[in-house]
């Protein structure tokens, strides 16, 4: 029998009342809920196909835009105040609650792309998540990128980004950046972390309260061999931020999922469709193990 999938645009409030844009993609009578959190500068529409795959497999999925991004962006970006910690403490935490409400009493899972895998450590309710799937989640330390990408990273951090801030007060969409417009403080905080080998771990004492140590749910991290940003080193370094979570890193080649290339965000494009069931199959395995 064909599964009926419902899609609904929603607005919901972050922990501080900031209104965020989201989309629910869910079947009738879901057996689990899944929150899908974006990478920096990627609007939620990129993740719709992944969410549809999850819904077809019985998972109620929520995709959403952080404050300052996509449908949650202000009319004027200059002067808009938001940083990455706000995305975790205020936006991700509220989105977890909203996702859990899609399947009351059922397991709650989380998918994070890039910075979306950094945010659970700042959410005080991340302990409700039964398992975390990370997709191309690594540290942003510039020397942990592939050597061929490091000059581009330095150009962005030291010249292009500061020039944009001086001229516009934020990082505009497109150009060398390529993503959606970024608020000033997102860029500055990200650049600060990217200068340290242990990334945001260097600053954890200054970022209290945080909950990285409190996360004990399993993490499976997928990365791809052609991703010059999220290298093997970058992905495995990031997992050390969650010292009490059992974790594993799966490094795939594009050919293993039937794609010609994946890089940093191609795992969510149509050519990577063979990969998507892996995420939800793993969640089902976690559920099966928990019920034994």
Percent of the chain with pLDDT over 90: 96
User: What does the pLDDT read at residue 14?
Assistant: 98
| CA–CA gap between residue 161 and residue 163 (Å, rounded) | 5
Percent of the chain with pLDDT over 70: 99
Distances (CA, A) of 162 to 115, 166, 190: 21, 6, 13
Backbone angles phi, psi at 96, to 5 degrees: -60, -45
> What digits encode the pLDDT tens for the residues 163-176?
999 999 999 998 88
> What digits encode the pLDDT tens for the residues 79-138?
999 999 999 999 999 999 999 999 999 999 999 999 999 999 999 999 999 999 999 999
Q: Is the pLDDT of residue 2 over 70?
A: no
| Mean pLDDT, residues 22-49 taken together | 97
Q: Is the pLDDT of residue 253 over 80?
A: yes
Q: Tell me the pairing of strands 19-27 and 5-13.
A: antiparallel
User: What does the pLDDT read at residue 104?
Assistant: 97
| CA–CA gap between residue 118 and residue 200 (Å, rounded) | 9
| CA–CA gap between residue 118 and residue 204 (Å, rounded) | 12
Only one residue has tokens 């994070």, namely 112
Strand partners, 21: 11
What are 269-277's contacts with CB under 8 Å, separation 24+?
Answer: 269/46, 269/49, 270/49, 273/49, 273/53, 275/222, 276/49, 276/50, 276/53, 276/54, 277/53, 277/57
| Mean pLDDT, residues 208-219 taken together | 97
Smallest Cα–Cα separation from 228: which of 133, 147, 155, 117?
147
């Amino acid at each position: 029998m064909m599964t009926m999938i419902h899609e609904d645009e929603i607005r919901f409030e972050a922990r501080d009342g900031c209104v965020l844009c989201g989309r629910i993609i869910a079947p009738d009578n879901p057996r689990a809920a899944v929150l899908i959190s974006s990478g920096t500068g990627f609007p939620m529409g990129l993740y719709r196909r992944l969410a549809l795959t999850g819904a077809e497999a019985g998972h109620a999925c929520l995709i959403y835009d952080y404050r300052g991004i996509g449908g949650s962006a202000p009319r004027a970006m200059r002067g808009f105040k938001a940083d990455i910690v706000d995305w975790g403490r205020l936006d991700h935490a509220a989105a977890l609650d909203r996702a859990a409400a899609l399947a009351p009493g059922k397991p709650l899972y989380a998918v994070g792309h890039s910075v979306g895998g950094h945010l659970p450590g700042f959410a005080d309710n991340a302990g409700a998540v039964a398992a975390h799937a990370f997709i191309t989640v690594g540290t942003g330390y510039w020397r942990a990128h592939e050597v061929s990408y490091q000059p581009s990273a330095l150009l962005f951090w030291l010249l292009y980004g500061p020039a944009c801030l001086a001229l516009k007060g934020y990082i505009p969409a497109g150009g060398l950046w390529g993503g959606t417009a970024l608020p000033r403080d997102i860029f500055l905080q990200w650049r600060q972390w990217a200068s340290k080998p242990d990334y945001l771990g260097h600053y954890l004492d200054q970022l209290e309260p945080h909950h990285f140590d409190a996360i004990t749910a399993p993490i499976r991290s997928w990365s791809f061999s052609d991703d010059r940003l999220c290298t093997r080193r970058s992905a495995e370094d990031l997992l050390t931020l969650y010292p009490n979570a059992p974790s594993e890193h799966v490094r795939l080649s594009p050919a293993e999922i039937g794609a010609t290339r994946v890089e940093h965000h191609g795992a969510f494009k149509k050519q990577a469709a063979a990969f998507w069931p892996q995420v939800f199959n793993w969640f089902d395995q976690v559920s099966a193990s928990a019920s034994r």
